[in-house]
A and B are shown apart, each in its own frame.
Chain A
Amino acid sequence: MLAGTIYISFLGAAGLLLLPKGSVTAARILALLTAIAGFALALTSFVHHRSGELFTVTRVPWIPTLGIEYHLAADGISLTMILLTGIIAITGILFSWNIVERTKEFFAFYLLLIGAVYGVFLSYDLFLLFVFYEIVIIPKYFLIAIWGSTRREYGAMKLAIYSFVGSTMVLIGLIAAYVVAGSKTTSLVDLAQYPFSLHFQMLAFPLVFVGFAILAGLWPFHTWAPTGHVAAPTAASMLLAGVVMKLGAYGCLRVAMTLFPLGLGPWGFHVLGLTSWRDVFALLAVIGIIYGALVALVQKDFKFVIGYSSVSHMGFILLGLMTLNQIGLTGAVLQMLSHGLLAGLMFAVVGRMVYARTHTRELAILGPMNLWKIIPFAAVTFIVAGMASMGLPGFSGFWAELMILTGAWRSYPAYALCVGFGIIIGVVYIWRAMLKAFFAETGVELTSPQPSLPPITLPERLGAIILIGASIFVGVCPQVFQNIIIPAFNSPLFEGLRKGSWQ
C-alpha cells in the first residue's frame, strides 16, 4: 500500500499534463488531492507499523540478468521520512496557490519530484534507490529555472551540476561495490552483509558518503544550497530544504554507512589529529554548523539567512550520523524531520508571505515597512518558526538537537562545545532577521509599502498551521518517533555498523 505514494504522485503528474490548457484551479486542486492521498497512505502505514521493524512493501524481479529487483520496503526511518515528505508536499502546494504562470507544468514537475522522493525513501535495492535519486534532479532544475527568482538559471544549473556530480560519485561506488560483490545482486541488505575488504571500504566509504553529503549540504560542498534556495520558487525551496537535502543525509545513513561500515574505523595513522574518516566528516559537520550560522548572521537578503541556516542545521544531522551511537543517530533522524518542517515553514514565510507581497527580500528595505502591523500573521509564524528553530522546548528542534548534543558529547566532547556555540549564534541570527524583517527600528521613518499588501490567504494560513502543528506534535510527543526509529537500527542492514564502530 505504501508503494501507492509513489504511483499516485507520478499518476497525478501525468494527469496534470492531460488537463486542458489554462485550467489553473483544476490543476491546483488535482495536485492538492494527489498530495493529500499520498500523505494519507503514508499516515496509514505509519499508524499500522508501530514497531518500526523493517517490512517489505513490494519485491519483484526487475532485471534478473543483473540480479536487480524492484524492492520497496520501509522501516521506522523510512516511515518518518515518508511522513515528512507527505506533509511538505501538501503545504508546498498550499503555499504555491499563487502560481498562475504555467500552473499545470509547475505542479506536474512538483509531483514528479515528490514521487521520486518517496521512491528514494522506500527503495531497498541500491539500483532502484539510485534511479529515484537521479530522477529528482531534472524536475528540481526546471522548477527553479522556470519559476524561480534571483539568478534562477545560474542557481538551477549549479544545483543540477552539484547533484549530478554527487550522484556520479555514488554511482562509481555503487558499480564498484556491485562488481566486487560478484555482480549478483544490488539488494541493499545483501550488499551490506557482503564482507568487502577493509582497503576497499576505506576508499569507497568517503566517495559514496561525500557523494550523498553534497546534497545534504556538507561544508565545503554546500555552496549550491544558498544560491539554489534563494533562486527557487517558494514551494521548490520548501522541497529543497525540507526533503531533498534529507535525501542526501538519508543516503549517507542508509547506503554509505551500512555498505561500508569499516570505512568509519580508524586509519591507523594521524593526519592533523584526525584518525578516521569519521573524524574528518564530524569536523566538517561542525565547521558547517558554525560557518553556516556565522554567514547567516551577516546576510542582507532575508532568504539567504534561511538558506545558510539550512546549511547550519544540516551540519547537526551529519554530526549526529558521525556520533555512531544510538542517541546521536536517532537525533539525526529526528533532526531530519524537524528541520524539514521548520525550514519549509521559514521558506514559506520568506518566499510566499513576504516576498510575494513586497517583491523585495532586502532586510534593510523590509524593516522600515514595519510589516508586523501589516501582515501580523507572517510575523507571528516567523517568530514561532524561529523559536522552534532555535531549539526551544516544546518544539521539534529541541529534542533533535538535544539528542545530537548528547550523542556528540559521548563521542566528541570538544565538538559538542563548539556545537553549543553554534546554537547560540543560531539564536542570534534568527533574532536579528526577525527584528530587521518585521519590526521597524525606533526613529526610522516608516516607508509605506506598495498600496496596501494583500492579506494572508486561507491556503497560507492552513499551510503554516499544519507545519507549526506538526513541529509542536514532534516536540510534545517525540517518543512516537523515537519508538519507531530506534528499532529500525536493529535491522540486519545496520549489523555491520553495530558490530563495528558502534559505541
Chain B
Amino acid sequence: MYGFIFRRLLSALPVVFIIAVIAFLLVHLAPGDPAVAIAGDGASDDQIAAIRRSLGLDQPLPVQFVTWLTSLVQGDFGTSMISRIPVSQLILQRTEPTVVLALYAMTITLLVAVPVGVLAAWKSGEWVDRLVLAMSVIGFSMPVFVIGYLLIGAFGTNLRWFAVQGYKSPGDGLIPFLYTMTLPAITLSTTYIALIARMTRASMIEILGEDFIRTARAKGLQERQVLFGHALRNAAVPIITVIGSGFAMMISGVVITESVFNIPGIGRLVVDAVLGRDYPLIQALIVLTGVLYVAINLLIDIAYAITDPRIRYS
C-alpha cells in the first residue's frame, strides 16, 4: 500500500516540474517583452533596461528558471507588478470565496447528478432516461455565462428571490449566504451536473447488467438496496474519476461565474491579472491550479487503491 502511494507520488513529480516549465516558458517565450509592457508607452530605453534588470530578465533563460523555481519551492511567488503586494498574499486573500463557491457547487452537483444518473440508468430506455440524456446534452452545451444570465434574469431581476452579485461567506449567516451564493453555485454546477449525471448513468447501466446484480435481486433485496448498495458502489470509480478530471473544467467555470456575479475570488484575480499583464501573478496562478489538479487526481488514485486492491497491483 505505502509502496503504491510512494510510486504514485514519485510519478507526479515530473508532471509538476513540467507545469512549472510551461508556466515559465509561457511568459518568457511569448513574443513581446514584459519589461516594455510594464514600462508602458513612452518609457525610455534606460527605464526599460532598469525594469529588465530588476526582474532578472537580463539573465540567460536557464538561470532565470532556476532562480524562479528555487524561490517557488520556498513558497515565494514573487511580487505583483500592479498592486506591489506579494503574490502569495494576494492569492490567499481571494481564496475563500472561490473555495466556498466550489464546495457549494460541488454539493449541489452530487445531490442532483448522482440520483438523476441512477434514475436514468434504472429506467434505461424509458422517457425519464431520454429526458435526462436530453437535459444533460443541453446543460453541457450551455456556456456558463449564458446559464448565469438566464438565472439572473429569471430569479434575480424578475422574481427577486436571490441576489445577483457580491459575496457572502457562510460566516455571515445561513440566509444571507444562501441568498447571495445560490445562483452562482447553480451556474457553476450546471455543466458539471450534466457531465456527472451522464457518466453515472453510463457506469450504472454497465454495472446493472452484471451477474451479481441479478443475484442480489434474486435473493429478494429491495430495489433501493440493489441500486445504491450494490450497483452504485461498484459504479463509483469512473464517476469519481470524472470529478477529478473535471476539476480543470471547474476552474474555467469559476473564472466566468465570478465575473458574471462579481465575486472577489481567484477567478476574478485571473481576469485582473491578465488585464493588468501581471506576469508573476499569472505564473503563480498557473502553477498553483496545475499542482492542485495533480494533487486532486493523486488523492483520487490513492483513494481507489485503498478501496479496491485490484488497482494497487496493476
A and B from one complex = no
Binding site for A on B (CB under 8 A): none
Binding site for B on A (CB under 8 A): none
